Amino acid sequence: MKLNDGLERLRHCASNLAEIFVSIDEMRLVTENGQKRLGMDIRESMTGTPPLVSPSRYLIVTLGGWYLALNAESVCGLLTLEETGNVENLTVHGRVHSALNLADRLSLPDDAGGANTRVVLLSERESRGSIRVSMVQGLLDLQPSQVLPIPLQFRGAERQWYRGMILIAKSVALVLNTTWILNEQVSDLESSGGQEALPGIRRPPELL
Amino acid sequence: MLRTGQKHHRTAVCQPWQLLVFAVGGRRLAVKALEVSGISQWNDSIPVAGRTPFVTAVIRQGQTVLPVFDLAASLHLTVQGSRPLCLRVKHPLGEMAMCIDEEIPVLHVFDPAAIQTYQGKDLPAEGSYTNGLDEIPILSISLLGSTV
């Protein structure tokens, strides 16, 4: 029953993200991105006069003690563990969202299992999947200039994993590349240690 | 004009090297002072999962985010002291930070003639100099984190 309740909430997710995100705790997300206002909350972000250059919206989550950011355009739903009914591969509107272990792929401590754990449903083109995060912090609207590039010294496969960095509180949130998260082929090859055949992923140089 | 040029030439040839000598895991290393952009107290780094050896974190200093090169790990050493320092260096790909021992770095001036070839293979070096029985390598910042 709980799963059905959760799925019901997802019914309109593709057309209206606000309905989904309004369930997020209205936690103020303090940023230091040079904005005049240092805080943003969920409802405020849904209203007001749009700026001349439309910002990108990011869902800020934590996992393994890290801040991570997901492009909100790829997020189509949030569920509590209870709402998923402990079903790993959720089927929504006849489409399967396979469970992806993000903590494992990023070699992070998997602390997603507490009361604040949320399952984030992701979709991009024909790819779909779900990830567990330990907490959802909120939404953040940012101009493109506020997303910092990954430093060039990071030369390995991680350049495919991240889209940039966001200054948040006194820390940094890494913007995840949803395409990489959802790309099972890359995941399988990486977990087996193979990198040679992956287009666009270079073997990291040997050092010293 | 010619005389001035000769004077400049002679100055360039004889110009001493200013080296900043610091320690990592108790081992003394040097870096050209011109390649140092700052020294400050080390703040906790933010890990970044990845595959680049020894570049596995960033630090935030105000609005700036710098990649961290783990020099201690690359030398199989552990940074000493409870209050380590952050050495910011000018890498060709952008400024980079390294965590070093809490021992305050010292500026030394050397005659280039005293600089010799570094025989070790454990780190990229522009050369070395001898201080007593110790051979102190001069780090080649541009080669840190890249293929040698």
3-class secondary structure per residue, B14-66: HCCEEEEEEEECCEEEEEEHHHEEEEEECCCCEECCCCCCCCCEEEEECCEEE
What is the secondary structure of A39-81 as a DSSP string?
Answer: ---HHHHHSSPPPSSPPEEEEEEEETTEEEEEEGGGEEEEEEH
- What ipTM was estimated for this complex? 0.86
Q: Which residue of B lies nearest to A151 if distances are taken between CA atoms?
A: B67
CA–CA gap between residue A11 and residue A19 (Å, rounded): 10
Element (H, E) at A5: helix A2-10
Distance of alpha carbon B3 from its chain centroid, rounded? Answer: 37
Question: CB distance from B132 to chain A under 8 Å?
Answer: no
Q: In terms of C-beta density within 10 A (0-12 exposed, 13-18 middle, 19 or more buried), how is residue B33 classed? A: middle
Which of A129 and A207 is assigned the larger pLDDT?
A129
Question: For B55, which of A108, A154, A167 is closest by C-beta distance?
Answer: A154
Quick check: A64 and A108 in contact, CB under 8 A? yes
Q: Give me chain B's average pLDDT, please.
A: 89
SS3 A29: coil
Compute, in degrees rounded to 10, the torsion defined by CA atoms A79, A117, A89, A6.
-20
- Residue A122, C-beta contacts closer than 8 angstroms, at least 6 positions apart: A70, A74, A75, A76, A97, A128, A129, A130, A131, A178, A181, A182
Q: What is the pLDDT of residue A115?
A: 87
Question: For B52, which of A34, A156, A172 is closest by C-beta distance?
Answer: A156
Q: Among the listed ranges A36-45, A142-151, B71-80, B123-132, which one has the minimum average pLDDT value?
A: A36-45
**List of chain B residues whose C-beta atoms are within 8 Å of the C-beta of residue A154:** 48, 50, 52, 55, 67
Q: What is the pLDDT of residue A39?
A: 36
Question: CB distance from B88 to chain A under 8 Å?
Answer: no
Q: Among the listed ranges A10-19, A41-50, A129-138, B93-102, which one has the minimum average pLDDT value?
A: A10-19
Q: Which residue of B lies nearest to A159 if distances are taken between CA atoms?
A: B50
Q: What is the pLDDT of residue B133?
A: 84
Q: Token pair 């390995």 is at which residue?
A: A156
Of B52, B71, B79, B53, the C-alpha closest to B124 is B71
Give A34→chain B minimum CA distance, Å: 8
Evaluate if residue A21 carries a pLDDT over 60. Answer: no
Question: CB distance from B125 to chain A under 8 Å?
Answer: no
Q: Give me chain A's average pLDDT, please.
A: 73
**List of chain B residues whose C-beta atoms are within 8 Å of the C-beta of residue A208:** 74, 122-124, 148
Give B42→chain A minimum CA distance, Å: 14
Average of per-residue pLDDT across A48-73: 87
Question: CB distance from B14 to chain A under 8 Å?
Answer: no
Residue-wise pLDDT for A85-134, tens only, equals: 878 888 888 889 999 999 999 988 888 778 899 999 999 988 999 999 99
Q: What is the pLDDT of residue B119?
A: 87
Domains of chain B: 22-143 (2.40.50.180)
For residue A48, which amino acid is it? G
**List of chain B residues whose C-beta atoms are within 8 Å of the C-beta of residue A155:** 52, 55, 145
Rounded percentage of chain A residues whose pLDDT exceeds 70: 63
B143 φψ region: left (φ > 0), alpha (ψ -120 to 50), beta (else): alpha
Could you tell me how many CB contacts below 8 A there are between chain A and chain B?
79
Which of A93 and B10 is assigned the larger pLDDT?
A93
Contact B52 A174 (CB under 8 A): no
Question: For B54, which of A161, A174, A207 is closest by C-beta distance?
Answer: A207
Q: What is the pLDDT of residue B145?
A: 82
Evaluate if residue B37 carries a pLDDT over 70. Answer: yes
Question: For A172, which of B46, B50, B54 is closest by C-beta distance?
Answer: B46
